[in-house]
Amino acid sequence: MPSKNLVQGEKGLLCPKCAHLNPGDLKECEYCNSQLFVKCKQCGAKVQRVLSRCGVCNHRLKKSPFRKLERRMFRRSRKVTWGQFVLLLVVAFVAYKAIQMASGKL
């Protein structure tokens, strides 16, 4: 009996990387050898890689693009990254222009 967190058709599982149709009993794609399942960090259930949430505990399996960007931009290092430097320049320029426009209207 298949688990409720496995999404598969009658013919097998589609690989999320190459779209190859694999038999349902494989852990890796026959064609590209990529993993078909991941382990949920919350409950440890085996979940198909294409799903965004665990079917058992509803835990989010993938990080959002904004979370990845935030992690890259604001590392716990004391060094200033290029992204932080560019962001600082943009904010400084916008503030300068806002002050310039405000003082011109007064």
- Read off the pLDDT of residues 8-63 as tens digits, 9 standing for 90 and up: 456 788 888 888 888 878 888 888 988 888 888 889 888 888 788 888 898 887 77
- Judgement on whether residues 3 and 43 belong to the same structural domain of the protein: yes
**Considering Cα of 18, then 22, then 27, then 33, what sign does the dihedral take?**
negative
For residue 46, what are the β-bridge partners?
Answer: 39
User: How much is the mean pLDDT over the chain?
Assistant: 80
Considering the domain architecture, whether residues 51 and 22 belong to the same structural domain is answered as: yes
- Judge if 20 and 58 occupy the same domain: yes
CA angle, 32 then 18 then 24, to 5°? 75
More reliable by pLDDT, 93 or 5: 93
Structure-token match 């967190």, residue found: 5
Which amino acid, 22?
N
Are both 50 and 70 inside the same structural domain?
no
Domain that holds residue 32: 1-62
Q: Quote the number of domains for the chain.
A: 2
pLDDT at position 99: 93
Where do the H-state alpha helices sit in 3-81? 65-73
Q: What would the mean pLDDT of 95-101 be, rounded to a whole number?
A: 94
57 and 70 housed in the same domain: no
Specify whether 45 is located in the same domain as 95: no
pTM for this entry: 0.48
Specify whether the CB–CB gap between 48 and 6 falls below 8 A: yes
